[in-house]
Amino acid sequence: MAALWPPGQALMIAAVFKLFGETAFPLKMLYLAVSTWALMLTCVYHSLEKIKKPVLKFSLCFLPFFFSVFQTWVFDDSLVLSENVSLPLFIIGFCFFIFWLQDKKWGYLIASAAIFAALAYFRGYFEVFGRFLALAMVIYLIILKIKSKKTILTPKVITMMSALLVFMMLLMPWRIYNSKHFGTYSWQPGMTVMWPFYWVPDSKSSFHGEAAENTACHIQPELCSYFYTRDLSLQPGGTLPSSFYRMLTLTALLEHPIAWYGVKAKAFNVFWFGEHNIPLSWNEILHRPIMLLGGVLIFLSGVFSLIYSAFLWFRKKLFLGQKELFVFSGSFIFFNFILFTFFHFEPRYSLYLQLLFIYLPLWLFFGFNENSQRDENL
């Protein structure tokens, strides 16, 4: 089994210690976070090429800071977590993807791939997202080959394949480290350590119930009690292999999908709302109307962007670049739905998706020039 956490956060903290010393450490991390967010705002500003009025463009860049959740993650020096820097890096990576769509310069896409590779060193699921994109790329090439008799190795396809290769190559140092010390090229254990926790009752750990981590227990309580009493109570993670609990969990999901997502939906508050990474109950959220309104607006913004893009796609009215943006952002959203299905919840886990939901409609409406020809070939 690989190391539990990738080293991005530790390396960043070590670099701050080395360069600036250990005194006033939270303040220095705050400076680093604010600087990274400032770089993100600059990238977003330049990505909205359709807007010609600088004041309006500048104002729209600051939309996330109208929501309390992002004010917390930028300006609170008590939160020294990877999200302080990785959140703006995520949007910077998206901006470089958009720069590639706008200018067709291959270096932008390579830079985007490098940024997402750096993100994987902070948040392990970006490594999984890279594999998810690689699979999507293979499916795309197969469809392209079926639809066209011409060569599929166009300059655009070659650039995308090169970007994926750069992404994978930049992950090799940590894979080599895991191979040397743990005997595996895996990025991190991921779900391997999570499957047994689906069968831990609420009474044994309040976190599992709050975070919807023990969904299987809510669906099959008798089976949950049986395995917890006879195995999981003996030691953390149990004595049976993780693959056994994976099979047991997937069976519960496939046999009771409606009940499964019902449990997940009831815990949606933990996934989408919260402050200082502290989960809030639905009752607490209802007594905080500004937080509730902000979360609802962000969610509706993302849903509207997807529906609007799909509508334009089927009517063949997407501009050059909008279709690629829809596919890329849609892939990330679908990937997060998979995480929503299987992984436990924490308020910070949805922040990347929320930040994308804020900027996605801006990019769709103002990121591409209407004078561009329609893209009918993707």
Mean pLDDT, residues 236-246: 82
- Find out whether 329 and 360 touch, Cβ atoms under 8 Å: yes
What's the mean per-residue pLDDT of the chain? 84
Answer whether 185's CB lies under 8 Å from 178's CB. Answer: yes
Summarised one tens digit per residue, pLDDT across range 157-189 is 888 889 999 999 999 999 998 888 888 878 777
* 79 backbone φψ class: left, alpha, beta (φ>0; ψ -120 to 50): beta
Q: What is the pLDDT of residue 371?
A: 54
Q: Which of the residue ranges 61-65, 202-206, 262-266, 268-272 would you say has the lowest mean pLDDT? A: 202-206
- Give the rounded distance of the alpha carbon of 121 from its chain centre: 13
pLDDT in tens, 81-124: 788 889 999 999 999 999 998 887 899 999 999 999 999 999 88
pLDDT of residue 373: 46
Task: Report yes or no: 89 and 52 within 8 Å, Cβ to Cβ.
Answer: no
Percent of the residues in the chain that have a pLDDT greater than 70, as a whole number: 89
pLDDT digits (tens, 9 = 90+) for 345-357: 777 888 899 999 9
d(CA 5, CA 20) in angstroms, rounded, equals 25
Report the C-alpha gap between 251 and 223 in whole angstroms.
Answer: 12
d(CA 378, CA 374): 11
The string of pLDDT tens digits covering residues 279-321 is 677 888 888 888 889 889 999 999 999 998 888 888 777 777 8
Q: Which of 71-80, 129-138, 213-222, 226-235 has the lowest mean pLDDT?
A: 71-80
DSSP state of 239: S
Q: Distances in Å between the alpha carbon of 141 and those of 4, 57, 155, 169, 342?
A: 34, 37, 13, 21, 29
Give the model's pLDDT for residue 245: 87
For the ranges 54-63, 119-128, 177-186, 243-252, the lowest mean pLDDT is seen at 177-186
Per residue in 16-41, pLDDT tens? 888 888 887 778 888 888 899 999 99
For the chain, domain boundaries:
8-188+267-366
> Over the stretch 313-346, which tens digit does the pLDDT of each residue have?
887 777 778 888 888 898 899 988 988 888 877 7
- pLDDT beyond 80 at 207: no
Q: What is the pTM of this model?
A: 0.88
Amino acid at 113: A
Cα separation values, 251 from 259, 260, 342, Å: 13, 11, 13
Q: How far apart are CA 146 and CA 153, in angstroms?
A: 14
For the chain, first and last CA: distance in Å? 40
Give residue 321's identity as a one-letter amino acid code: G
Task: State the average pLDDT over residues 40-57.
Answer: 92
Q: How confident is the model at residue 269 (pLDDT cuts 50, 70, 90)?
A: confident
pLDDT at 172: 93
Q: Which carries the bigger pLDDT value, residue 152 or residue 309?
A: 309
| Cα 347 to Cα 238: distance, rounded to the nearest angstrom | 28
Q: Name, in order, each residue with C-beta under 8 angstroms of 372's C-beta and a sequence gap of 6 or more.
A: 319, 320, 321
Q: Which residues, including other chains, have CB under 8 Å from residue 98's CB and lie 6 or more apart?
A: 47, 321, 325, 363, 367
| Three-state DSSP class for residue 279 | coil
